[in-house]
Structure 1
Amino acid sequence: MVALLPLLAAAQGGAKSVVTTDRVRAELLAHAPDGIAPGRQVWLGLQLAHKPEWHTYWKNSGDSGLPTQLTWTLPRGVEAGEIAWPVPRKIPIGALANYGYEGTVLLPVPLTITPEFKAPLAGDLEVRLKANWLVCKKECIPEEGDFVLKVPARSTTALNAAQFQQAFDAQPRPLDGGGSTARIEGSALAITVQGLPATLRGKPLEFFPETGEVVETGAQWTQAWKGEAWTAQVPLSPQRAASPTAMPVVLASNGQGWRTELKVVGAWPAAQAAPAGLPPSLEAALRENARAPATPSIGFAAALLGALLGGLILNLMPCVFPILAIKVVGFTRHADDHRGHRISGLAYTAGVVVSFAGLAALMLALRAAGEQLGWGFQLQSPAVVAVLAALFTIIGLNLAGVFEFRSFLPSRWATMQAKHPVADAFLTGVLAVAVASPCTAPFMGASLGLAIALPAAEALAIFAVLGLGMALPYLVASWVPPVARWLPRPGAWMETFRRLMAFPMFGTVVWLVWVLGQQSGIDGAGALLALLVALSMTVWALTLRGRVRLALGALALASFGLLAWTAGGAITRVATAQPAGAQERWQAWAPGRVDQLLAEGRPVFVDFTAAWCVTCQYNKKTTLTDREVLADFESRNFALLRADWTRRDPAITEALAQLGRSGVPVYVVYRQGRPPVVLSEVIGVEEVRSVINNEL
């Protein structure tokens, strides 16, 4: 537990003044040259430094995109205003155009300090910011950051004066709007602006309307000076969605802008509905630049309930069954020891909860450091898979009676399990989480998806409740006497049951070998099998007495190893095979592939899966190979994509996050012009057929 404290601290300290991604460096800055007090000038600002060719968006993003959004958490008596947007630039994208920022831009926000504000005793004003921005090149990536900044409340803050002054200089200056109009003339706006500086006369100006979806951003337009008035003829958008009575606009020259409000003169033509089928190139461009992060649709309380139910259901998942065997043996071994049962139940629960929280803290800390990880990330490492396979091989041999741990250990160590049942139960809980964590049970998906978007403390609470749900049946069984009385009494049957339980443990080893085969190919699976055979041979040889028996044991194990190597290839090939006619239906998922297929007019079904996800394999071998389901896919002209997350893939991690998920399985149906539909984790034939046949 002590080793987890730095990870917990790192996860809880994920909020900071700087967030860096592969595309943007974002920093929260403050400017309080006169200190913090009522009536004083205080500014905050988010500075975005873009990598070359990347950009974010203005308050009106143009034909596509999304403006940066800032959500503040401030002390009582401190209120944040709106972003004082600097003058943007026009960013052409084929026949379209957006308004945004490249290079480095500071988005300043004024603070109002009211008389209710009381300077904190610590002397610092703590500011928290949740920021979301869409950063685009040819592709678009929704990003976010949690920032915290402590601003001295009893002294001045002017270290960032130069950056804020540059942002103030880039803000448009107000113009007297008297006489400035936007006259509706057929399918265009005839714009007249009065009161511009005399130094601008005769010069071409840039035009940025603050109201979106009115003019055709990427179209050609004309401008001219008529004496002191600047005029322009700007085409209306064929898909106009707004009919304002006044239009605030920004005119700019060489980075300096002037803002005025145009009075709309005339009657707007009837707004046209968007055509049912936009050109594929336009449709793809719009989707490419307007992709926003999916917001989880459930609240924190619902997420806690989903985590508790999901943890309970985890006990029914195949990957957890071997651990249940160990718990059943342990329960029956001490059936008459009620106090021991209770202590063991608490220790097991503590092991499960601490392990879930520890894994979650590690994942959150690595994500805060810029890693693209999701739930079950540990089994994306072939080394972890190999270590688990070796561990379960040893446990299986022990359950089968091949050896006893006490025969290999000093007598003092050999009796530790009996002397320290609490530690033994706690470690069993840790082992259960190691095997169960890659599974995603029903109710878990949405809860885990919300957890990774929450502050660290709330996220860890969700994972802890998930662990509590998984341990709850054993906790209840250990503390409720009627449940304990249902347990069978100790007897000779226990030895037979113990040996029987070795088989699900070996089944887990087979599964892990297959997982490593998916990650590293058949050679990797073969190498792991050879390692496990060598490990088994060593364990067995150590139990033999006499040279002859040792030689015979070694020969038998060598023969078994040769057969296992041959069988390993067959296992891998059979496990990865699909029914006839099914495999060729699926294509590999890739970023942008869904958009391409939708632009071609095809609906898309995406299977987010991984070899180490037992639920994924169950669904793949049952529902997704059902003849009626496949026939419906074919009749509806569905494109089938498979996103394989067996090895770490940041693009798949990001796609899952956009869907509000952090683990697999996830099944999604995409249709042109409609939001994606996310199915349940354990899908049934009727559920899939209902969704893919629903054209509404």
Structure 2
Amino acid sequence: MTVMYRTRRAALGTALSALALSLGLSGTASAQGRVDNPVVEAEILPGWTTQNGTRMAALRLILTPGWHTYWRIPGEAGIAPRLDWGQSQNVASVVPIWPRPRVFDQNGYRSYGYEDELILPLQVTAQDPGRPMALLGALSIGVCNETCVPADVTVQGVLRGPGERDRRISGALDTAAQPGARAGLTRATCRLVPEGRGAELTLRATLPPQGRAEDIILELPGSPYRITESRTWREGDELVAQASLRPPRRSEAVGIDRSTIAFTVLSEGRMSWSQGCTGG
């Protein structure tokens, strides 16, 4: 594993050197994975400069038809993506804005992701706004069809000038999560009940119907607890989610700060996000 990591870092260094030399040129560069990699193409869409001075670019992945990759929360059967932009030049930060994923059922397990193509908007902030940015990414993702394989891909591009709006990026942004209050969320309560090796978490969100196939995806940012066996159903004005929490060690008692509990409400038509709940 260490050898693979060092090899990839060496390749990144070579790519970065080449990218730095290209800063005086127009266009973007793209990179592909291994020959047996289901990621057919990876590229940076240069996008445009926003009114607040940041850059709205995007990562575009094209997959072999029928294959899919995963959302930031992959679900029980998925592989979480890792995106490393640390080798970029003149870049202070890169913030991904995830579009609404699809739901996949794999052998009785539910996962969330994107089939055939992913356009992931990136909000990029420059260290020096007066200079071009060299964006270099190292991606470790899971790609699945009937079987799942890990894929390591490098991608690079130059962000310069004002750019121009890209309908592909705008379309992906239109499906990104909106604040829960904007979707009609008025109240969220949670209840923790000790059970077996952990606890059962029940969250109730007072929320108007969001469309077909409503699903609540629970997360505990920064927590070592695992969330398993999650399910969602509706009871009138409330959308209810229930899941099991598993501590990192069997002997450890489950203790969760309710203000840290985050949840995404996903349906076929929209996606919303909220954090924090009261006792109930």
Instruction: Pick the aligned partner of 1:250 from 264, 269, 280.
Output: 264
Which residue does the alignment assign to 2:202? 190
> Aligned partners of 2:276, 2:229: CA distance in 1, in Å?
17
Secondary structure of the residue aligned to 1:180 is strand
Question: What aligned pairs does 1:621-660 form with structure 2 within 5 A after superposition?
Answer: none
> What displacement does 1:172 show?
0.8
Contact 2:141 2:152 in 1 (8 A): yes
Does residue 265 in structure 1 map to residue 265 in structure 2? no
Work out which structure has the larger RCO, using CA pairs closer than 8 Å and 6 or more positions apart in sequence.
2
1:31 aligns with 2:76: no
Contact 1:169–1:256 (CA under 8 A) maintained in structure 2: no
Taking only aligned residues, the RMSD between alpha carbons, in angstroms, comes to: 3.1
Structure 1 residues 132, 182: closer, same or farther in 2, change over 3 A? Answer: same
* Residue aligned with 1:131, SS: strand
Distance 2:106 2:213 in 1: 22
Q: Which has the larger radius of gyration?
A: 1
Q: Does 1:207 align with 2:221?
A: no
Is residue 2:163 matched to residue 1:157? yes
Q: Distance in 1 between matches of 2:58 and 2:210?
A: 34
Matching residue within 126, 144, 151 for 2:152: 144
Aligned residue number for residue 690 of structure 1: none
Map 1:90-489; keep pairs closer than 5 Å: 90-114=103-127, 117=128, 119-120=130-131, 124-152=132-160, 155-158=161-164, 161-176=166-181, 179-185=187-193, 188-194=200-206, 196=207, 198=208, 200=209, 204-211=213-220, 213-217=226-230, 221-226=232-237, 230-236=238-244, 239=246, 241=248, 244-245=256-257, 246-263=260-277, 265=279
- Rounded to whole Å, the distance in 2 between the matches of 1:129 and 1:202 is 36
Equivalent-residue separation in structure 2 for 1:74 and 1:248 (angstroms): 30
The separation in 2 between residues aligned to 1:64 and 1:240, in whole angstroms, is: 19
CA distance in 1, matches of 2:247, 2:147: 25
Say which SS state the counterpart of residue 80 (structure 2) adopts: coil
Once the two structures are superposed, residues 204-231 of structure 1 have per-residue CA deviations (whole angstroms, 9 ceiling, x without a partner) of 51222234722414xx5432223xxx23
Question: Alpha carbons of 1:150 and 1:235: their partners in 2 closer, same or farther (altered >3 Å)?
Answer: closer
**Partner amino acid, structure 2, of 1:157:** G
Matched, 1:43 2:56: yes
Work out the CA distance in 2 between the residues paired with 1:244 and 1:30. 41
SS of structure 2 residue aligned to 1:163: helix
Task: Go from structure 1 to structure 2 and tell me whether the alpha carbon gap of 1:256 and 1:202 turns closer, same or farther (over 3 Å shift).
Answer: closer
Give the distance between the partners of 1:57 and 1:240, measured in 2 at CA.
24
- Work out the CA distance in 1 between the residues paired with 2:213 and 2:110: 19
Q: Please report the TM-score for the alignment, with normalisation by the length of structure 2.
A: 0.71
- Distance in 1 (CA, whole Å) between partners of 2:187 and 2:169 is 33
Considering fraction of residues, name the structure with more strand: 2
Structure 1 residues 14-36: Cα deviation after superposition (integer angstroms, max 9, x where no partner): 9742425541222222212459x
Kindly provide the amino acid, as one letter, of the partner of residue 30 in structure 1.
Answer: P
Give me the TM-score of the superposition, normalised by structure 1.
0.31
**2-side partners of 1:12 and 1:33: how far apart?**
28
Aligned residue pairs total 235
SS at match of 1:216: strand
Which residue identity is paired with 2:235? Answer: A
Aligned counterpart in structure 2 of residue 89 of structure 1, from 75, 90, 102: 102
Question: Which secondary structure state, in structure 2, belongs to the residue aligned with residue 167 of structure 1?
Answer: helix
Letter in 2 for 1:156: P
Change (3 A) 1:264 1:103: farther
Q: Relative to structure 1, is the Cα distance of residues 137 and 244 closer, same or farther in structure 2, using a 3 angstrom cutoff? A: farther
Gaps of 5+ in 1: 1-10, 267-696
Structure 2, unaligned stretches of length 5 or more?
Answer: 1-12, 20-28, 249-253
The one-letter code of the counterpart of 1:191 is: L
1:46–1:106 Cα contact (<8 Å) kept: yes
Q: 1:263 to 1:67 in 2, by over 3 A?
A: same
- The sequence identity of aligned pairs, in percent, is 20
Q: CA deviation at 1:240?
A: 5.2
Distance in 1 (alpha carbons) for counterparts of 2:240 and 2:69: 27
How far the C-alpha of 1:257 sits from its partner, in A, is 0.4
Q: Match for 2:202: what amino acid?
A: A
Q: Measured at CA, do residues 231 and 184 of structure 1 come closer, stay the same or move farther in structure 2, by a change above 3 Å?
A: farther
Q: Contact (CA 8 Å) 2:76, 2:228: kept in 1 or not?
A: no
| 1:547-696 map, 5 Å | none
Residue deviations 1:231-270, cap 9 Å, x none?
3142425x4557542321111222410111142637xxxx
Distance 1:169 1:244, change over 3 A: farther
Distance 1:202 1:190 in 2: 22
Shift of 1:133: 1.3
What does 1:68-79 align with in structure 2 at a 5 Å threshold?
68-72=81-85, 73-76=87-90, 78-79=91-92
Q: Which residue identity is paired with 1:206? A: D
What secondary structure is seen at the aligned counterpart in 2 of 1:184? strand
8 A Cα contact 2:57 2:169, kept in partner: no
Cα distance in structure 2, aligned partners of 1:175 and 1:221: 17
Higher normalized helix content (fraction of residues): 1
Aligned-partner SS, 1:86: coil
SS for the counterpart of 1:67 is: coil
